[in-house]
Amino acid sequence: MRQHVNPLSHFFQLPLSLPSKSILFKNPYHPIHLDIGSAKGEFLMELATRYPNWNFLGLEIREALVSSSERKRKQLGLQNLRFLYCNVNISLDEWLSDLDIDQLKRVSIQFPDPWFKRKHYKRRVFTKSLLTSFARSMSKDGELFIQSDILKLIEYMSHVIDDSIYFDKKVVRGFKWLKKNPYEVSTDRELFVLNKNLPIYRAMYIRNSELFID
């Protein structure tokens, strides 16, 4: 899904008050996996089916995709999964602050819009402030998973994470990038790229247990 919207336009800068976890999930105290840019939502639907003792939240800036994903979720009867429409760099921080300590266990950002031109880098979803929000809310052993088929984009994301010092990269000896998706569930974009025999660059980061954020 590469249907770009400009997150810096006035419309997407309006803050939204996201529903609390007690409204979103049947059991609001389960650990949470947050997927940024959930697109069609197939990735989270599969995980939510496999792991009923987890809660899954997909956030997407394209409202039509959220509506479609929610229709499918309701048809499947999944009460541990929700999809919400928002600009995460505007509306997510308040929602994260309402979570229980160590409840946020996983964050995944997969195949985000690359915004290739340097003057458009500021439109990219992954920012230092967003990363800090994750780190502040995440459990000490929490996972941050990123993947993309654009090498320059994944290198940019990795550089932001490495500079933050809040996360340690999970290294597989002899490889710069993970060979497989650790969750063994693929997004639509991932399947599209794999079917074309093109490379995918993946990295897993673990929240540094010794660093705290005021």
Catalytic positions are 113
Q: Which two tokens stand for residue 21?
A: 């976890």
Coil, strand or helix at 13 = helix
DSSP state of 30: S
- Which SS3 state, helix, strand or coil, does residue 136 take? helix
User: Would you give the distance in Å from CA 104 to the centre of its chain?
Assistant: 12
The candidate with the shortest Cα–Cα distance to 191, out of 39, 78, 24, is 39
> First vs last Cα of the chain: how many Å apart?
37
| Lateral strand order in the sheet of 138-148 | 81-85, 55-60, 32-36, 104-110, 138-148, 201-207, 167-169
Closest by CA position to 39, among listed 191, 204, 187, 184: 187
The answer to whether 33 and 171 are in contact (CB under 8 A) is no
